[in-house]
Amino acid sequence: MFQVPRDDDFADIRQWLNGGLFCDEAGIAYKFTGMGEDRRATGWPVYPDESLAVAPRNFRQSEIYLHWPLCGAVNNKNKKFALYVQRLPRRQYARTFCPQQVEVLVPRGYEVLARIGTRRNSLDANSNEVLRALFYPEYPANYEEAEQWLEDGWLSVALTRRVTLVKAEGKLLVFDGMTHVGHVMHRKLCPFTSTHHTLKVLKAFKGALQL
């Protein structure tokens, strides 16, 4: 996060925030909704828990912090599956996170989305669910906890920003980003990739799996 420069004029602030999100000093994310006559920005809060949602807030220029959360694999707590969010290679005019600048994908998406009754085109990067996953990411502490999440009804779990586990019949599929790189059976990682790539993926399991 970095604070909006205090010497910027009214037009610049509008451009920097246009269509995007920003944070307050505490790190709470807000959807930018416009500028008032008093030159204050208005934002609608995006909290980790939907029950915490409140009315929009007005912000002085000194209270606005621009922020691009890390993209990659994140967990949708409401729907219990993992997403993969990637930044699109296009010119960006807003200086802060802008949903139009990312694409939301799902590892093994056809099967996962079919099982929860969600269409791929409904994965809107501006939805509160996706924004919560990005701005307030939560990951299992280790492989054992990821297994527990899967037993509790999760269809897929992001272990890190790169590595995702997806339920399949009799095994767990392993994805690096959107690439299927192997599967887990009997506490062993069975890779499809080079040794160098496999060793990188194996680090996400923190010693819980063997080759």
pLDDT in tens, the chain (211 residues): 888 887 666 678 888 898 899 999 999 999 999 988 888 899 999 998 877 777 899 999 999 999 999 999 999 999 999 999 999 987 766 789 999 999 999 999 988 888 888 776 668 899 999 999 999 999 999 999 999 999 999 999 999 999 999 999 888 999 999 999 999 988 899 999 999 999 999 999 998 988 8
Looking at the structure, tell me whether residues 59 and 82 fall in a common domain: no
Looking at the structure, tell me whether residues 93 and 175 fall in a common domain: yes
Looking at the structure, tell me whether residues 76 and 62 fall in a common domain: no
**Is the residue at 210 inside a domain?**
no
Q: Residue 136 belongs to what domain range?
A: 72-205
Looking at the structure, tell me whether residues 82 and 176 fall in a common domain: yes
Supply angle C-alpha 106, 161, 148, rounded to 5: 75
Integer Cα distance of 211 and 209 in angstroms? 7
pTM to 2 decimals? Answer: 0.90
Looking at the structure, tell me whether residues 117 and 163 fall in a common domain: yes
Secondary structure of residue 188 in the 3-state scheme = strand
Looking at the structure, tell me whether residues 89 and 110 fall in a common domain: yes
**Is the residue at 211 inside a domain?**
no
Looking at the structure, tell me whether residues 132 and 109 fall in a common domain: yes
- Please count the structural domains in the chain: 2
Looking at the structure, tell me whether residues 27 and 123 fall in a common domain: no
Looking at the structure, tell me whether residues 98 and 24 fall in a common domain: no
Residues with Cβ within 8 Å of 4's Cβ and at least 6 positions away in sequence, in order, are: 13, 16, 61, 62, 64, 65, 66
**Is the residue at 20 inside a domain?**
yes
**Is the residue at 144 inside a domain?**
yes
Residue 9 confidence (pLDDT): 67
Joined together, the tokens standing for residue 91 give 């010119």
Looking at the structure, tell me whether residues 46 and 83 fall in a common domain: no
By C-alpha distance, which of 161, 174, 171, 167 is closest to 202?
A: 174
Looking at the structure, tell me whether residues 105 and 173 fall in a common domain: yes
Residue 93 confidence (pLDDT): 66
Residues with Cβ within 8 Å of 137's Cβ and at least 6 positions away in sequence, in order, are: 69, 70, 74, 75
The residue among 66, 91, 112 that closes a domain is 66
The residue among 66, 91, 115 that closes a domain is 66
Residue 183 confidence (pLDDT): 96
Report which DSSP code applies to 98: -
Looking at the structure, tell me whether residues 13 and 116 fall in a common domain: no
**Is the separation of the CB atoms in 177 and 73 below 8 Å?**
yes
The residue among 44, 66, 88 that closes a domain is 66
